[in-house]
Amino acid sequence: MNLRLAKNSGFCFGVKRAIKMALKAAKENHQTVTLGPIIHNPQMVSKLESKNILAVDNISQIKNRATIIRSHGVKKNVLDRLKEKEIEIINATCPYVSKTQKFAEELDKEGYKIIILGDKDHPEVKSLYSYINGDALIVANATELPDMSFKKVGVISQTTRSINDFQKLVSELVKRSEEMRIINTICNATSVRQNSTIELAKISDAMIVVGGKNSSNTKMLAKISGKYVKTYHVETACEIKKKWFSKTEDIGITAGASTPDWVIVDVYNKIIEIIGKLDKKIEKVEDIPGFKEER
């Protein structure tokens, strides 16, 4: 039986950076909070709690603590209110998101109608939207565009959308607009991770997708993998069941952008234990055969 890890699994650049900033802050401050869970992964949130980094839901809960802004970013008015408090702000907003916020704000001031490709309920999109004073539109794809023409239009995207959907949106808008400005901050970590998952799913009898049940990108990986082969979405190793592997020859593992390395390692070891191949326990994700760190 073979057990393989998809290339480019786990943390993306922005998440890695945010966690690093949080851990550094925890060392330097005794009282650190994150505004909302730092990432959509309950295991990581628990780990940070054990280091006294608590997640709070509301600004009013913050009292004389260093506050970490998570990689998705926060609404502009939330940031403004934080600045009014006498606290240290550790802004771990993904640099791609910050760039888009700045671009949206600038174009809005110049009178461009802003169109956002994204999920209107996602914190990142809510954050982007908050930087726009004028009228803005949020669409999940080009077909959601209203039937109208535009004079000056600015186009931005949630960092995790597919470039293909972005191309379709821009292509539709260019024929309906006199002038357009576009910034492409779509992070290819998402498509790279999805492609690696497809690659592995194609040669596997079963796929284990590891990551938060509340993580959009992990759920998407499970959906994509499920098109090719029987797929199980788990948050931790505890959920792994022996019966899944009774008739399998090739098993694949992949993990979302918010899945910590140690959770992946646990899942890997658990499966090895079940299929009876445990020579020695793997300690680091880097030691799992097939592991390849993304940027």
Q: Nearest-CA neighbor of 251 among 235, 263, 268?
A: 268
Please tell me the distance from the alpha carbon of residue 275 to that of residue 250, in angstroms, as a whole number. 11
Q: Is 195 in the site for a second copy (CB under 8 A)?
A: no
Q: Which two tokens stand for residue 112?
A: 């461009």
Assess 110 for contact with a second copy (CB under 8 A): no
243 CB-near residues (< 8 Å, 6+ apart): none
Rule CB under 8 A: say whether 147 interacts with a second copy.
no
Binding of residue 177 to a second copy (CB under 8 A) = yes
For a second copy, the binding residue among 28, 49, 80, 179 (CB under 8 A) is 179
Closest CA to 116 of 127, 128, 98, 99: 128
User: How many C-beta neighbours within 10 Å does residue 224 have?
Assistant: 19
Q: Which of 27, 97, 106 is nearest to 69 (CA)?
A: 97
Catalytic residue among 28, 88, 105, 124: 124
Q: In this complex, which beta carbon is closest to a second copy, that of residue 175 or of residue 227?
A: 175
Report the alpha-carbon distance of residue 232 to residue 79 in Å, rounded.
38
Q: State in angstroms the smallest separation of the CB of 174 from a second copy.
A: 5
Quick one: 122 or 168, whose CB is closer to a second copy?
A: 168
> Which of the ranges 3-11, 163-171, 215-223, 268-276 carries the binding residues for a second copy, by CB under 8 A?
163-171
Contact 112, 154 (CB under 8 A): yes
Residue 193: which of 3, 12, 2 has the closest Cα? 12
Of residues 2 and 162, the one with the C-beta less far from a second copy: 162
Nearest approach in angstroms of CB 180 to a second copy is 4
184 touches a second copy by CB under 8 A: yes
Distance, in Å, from the CA atom of 156 to the CA atom of 238, rounded to the nearest integer, reads 40
Residues in the chain: 295
174 binds a second copy (CB under 8 A): yes
Asked if 1 touches a second copy (CB under 8 A), the answer is no
Q: Which stretch binds a second copy (CB under 8 A): 10-18, 28-36, 162-170, 287-295?
A: 162-170
| Residue 235 annotated in active site | no
Are 222 and 176 in contact by the 8 Å Cβ rule? The answer is no
Q: Does 178 bind a second copy (CB under 8 A)?
A: yes
Stretch that binds a second copy, among 15-23, 76-84, 175-183, 244-252 (CB under 8 A): 175-183
Question: Catalytic site residues?
Answer: 124
Which residues in this chain contact a second copy in the complex, by CB under 8 A?
103, 163, 166-168, 170-171, 174-175, 177-184
